[in-house]
Amino acid sequence: MSRYPFARIDLAALKHNLQQVRQYAPDSKVMSVIKADAYGHGFIKIAKALNQSDAFAVARLSEALALRQNGFQQPITIFEGVSSTEEWHLVSDYGLTAVLHQQQHLDSLINAGINRPLPAIWLMLETGMHRLGLPEPAIQQIIHQLEKRKDLVEQYGLMSHFANSDLLDDLRNQQQLAIMHKLAESTGLPVCMANSAAIISLPESHYDWVRPGLMLYGASPFADKSGADLRLKPVMQLVSKLIATQQLKPGDQVGYGGQWTADKPMRMGVVSIGYGDGYSRHLSNAGTVMIRGQYTPIIGRVSMDTICINLNDCPQAQLDDEVIIWGADGVTVEWLAEKAGTIPYELLTCVTPRVQREYLNG
Ligand SMILES: *Cc1c(COP(=O)(O)O)cnc(C)c1O
């Protein structure tokens, strides 16, 4: 049975990238971000390979519980926090670390009557992103409340998130940092602020903890820099195979809507990958794949299960040849994301369960 398409996940590259995080931020602890099934890479295998991390972070309670159910004992931060009594009990019973970004969430914790104190929580400071976060006076107020409730929460720190850290030299990053810096100075609490882009470009944001996501998976967060420029190695290589070829005559149209027409006699190939695998339909007439080391452009629309490619520049291509969809020099996921009008985060997390993950160097 054919296993194509599949995602080849290089765990040695992942560990290399974690080492790079340590080199960029040598004095900080590392909270590896493995939300959204580890950016589409498969969270269990990725968490195992990242066991040198000081902690993990996910977006939701359900993701944290799945990690605990698979035996992971590390601290796990839940970025979205929790709000109900029942959820606070789970956080307490499983020793999880919630992010607090609403006063009501604290009220609900106080009323929840948890059985044992939470080892830690993060207080999310609003510094300019205007998504999850509380303004400084509200955080001061919460600190005041928590000081008297060590039976509820043993330790707490300050967290915030950059809105523009992928833009080098953007003044707004300095403005966000200044707001954090002021509260960090006056409270002396531990701070966690930097995502991948800030880890690489804003050393003054490293503080006590950093939280890399994308860079662990080997992709660059900057539009004008590649992963290789940043000493990162791509972790996922998405591969499939050539399942058909056809000879086209001038005037023949390819695929749904006839969005591409041959202008000369040519050979066309069909590759088994489509939007049902997470390959963006925005790459219709725009993407490129690699076959036998040769770039070949996509022609016509991306279908649910297949794409068509122009084989004129690769006459040696044969049925069943392996095709690299992304994750090689020249067809990086960052480059394709730009072609699709999106970001590598989206392409990686959109790879569907139909695509098997195969792990190398585990
Ligand atoms: C996803 C996320 C991160 C990781 O960001 P990257 O850009 O992937 O490094 C860090 N912090 C928060 C709050 C996040 O939601």
Q: What is the DSSP string of 134-165?
A: B-HHHHHHHHHHHHT-TTTEEEEEEE---SST
Distance of CA 296 to the CA centre of its chain: 27
Counting from 1 in the atom list of ligand 1, the atom nearest the Cα of 159 is: 13
| Distance of alpha carbon 12 from alpha carbon 327, whole angstroms | 15
Ligand 1 pocket: which of 37, 195, 210, 232 to mutate (most atoms within 8 A of CB): 195
> 295 lies in a domain?
yes
Alpha helix stretches (DSSP H) within the chain = 11-24, 35-40, 43-49, 61-69, 85-93, 103-112, 136-147, 171-187, 196-201, 333-339, 344-349
On whether residue 2 sits in a domain, the answer given is no
- Is 323 among the domain residues? yes
Q: What pLDDT score was predicted for residue 348?
A: 98
Nearest to 76 by CA among 63, 90, 87: 63
Ligand 1 atom with minimal separation from the 199 CA? 9
Instruction: Establish whether 339 is a catalytic residue.
Output: no
Token pair, residue 69, equals 């159910």
Across the range 156-165, mean pLDDT stands at 98
Query: Do 241 and 153 have their domain in common?
Result: no
Q: Do 170 and 34 fall within a single domain? A: yes
The token duo for 172 is 């707004």
The CATH number of the domain holding residue 273 is: 2.40.37.10
Query: pLDDT tens, 320-352?
Result: 999 999 999 889 999 999 999 999 999 999 999
Which atom number of ligand 1 is nearest to the Cα of residue 132?
13
Domain membership flag for residue 119: yes
Among 197, 221, 245, which residue terminates a domain? 221
Q: Which two tokens stand for residue 242?
A: 């050539």
Backbone angles phi, psi at 37, to 5 degrees: 55, 45
Asked if residue 338 and residue 252 are part of one domain, the reply reads yes
**Which residues 6+ apart lie within 8 Å of 67 measured at CB?**
34, 43, 47, 56, 58, 76
Q: Is residue 163 part of a domain?
A: yes
Is the domain of 176 the same as that of 102? yes
Distance 209 CA to ligand 1 centre (A): 13
Of 15, 35, 39, 345, the active-site residue reads 35
- Could you say which of 193, 221, 249 is where a domain stops? 221
pLDDT tens digits for range 110-149: 999 998 999 999 999 999 999 999 999 999 999 999 999 9
Cα(91) to centroid(ligand 1), Å? 21
Residue 56 in domain = yes
Query: Does one domain contain both 40 and 178?
Result: yes
- Regarding whether 145 and 198 lie in a shared domain, the answer is yes
For residue 1, what pLDDT is reported? 67
256 has catalytic annotation? yes
The reply to whether 210 and 275 lie within a common domain is: no
Measured distance CA(221)–CA(72) in Å, rounded: 28
Could you list the residue range(s) of the whole structural domain that residue 249 is in? 236-360
Q: Give residue-wise pLDDT tens across range 255-298.
A: 999 999 999 999 999 999 999 999 999 999 999 999 999 999 99
What distance in Å separates the CA atoms of residue 220 and residue 216, rounded to the nearest whole number?
A: 10
Residue 320 and residue 297 share a domain? yes
CATH of the domain at 53: 3.20.20.10
Tell me the three state secondary structure of residue 296: strand
Same domain for 170 and 35: yes
For ligand 1, mutation pick of 50, 79, 206, 225 (most atoms within 8 Å of CB): 79
**Which pLDDT score is estimated for 309?**
98
* 229 inside domain: no
Predicted TM-score (pTM) of the model is 0.97
- pLDDT for 26-77, tens place per residue? 999 999 999 999 999 999 999 999 999 999 999 999 999 999 999 999 999 9
Q: Are residues 72 and 163 in the same domain?
A: yes
- Do 174 and 267 lie in a common domain? no
For residue 3, count other CB atoms closer than 10 A to its CB.
11
For the chain, the domain total comes to 2
Q: What percent of the chain has pLDDT over 70?
A: 100
Q: Report the C-alpha gap between 322 and 234 in whole angstroms.
A: 19
pLDDT band at 25 (very low <50, low <70, confident <90, very high): very high
Residues with CB under 6 A from ligand 1: 33, 35, 79, 161, 195-196, 211-214, 221
Tokens (6 digits) for 52: 């040198």
Average pLDDT, the chain: 97
Q: Considering the domain boundaries, does residue 231 fall inside one?
A: no
Q: Do residues 58 and 79 touch, judged by C-beta distance below 8 A?
A: yes
Tell whether 110 and 164 lie within a shared domain.
Answer: yes
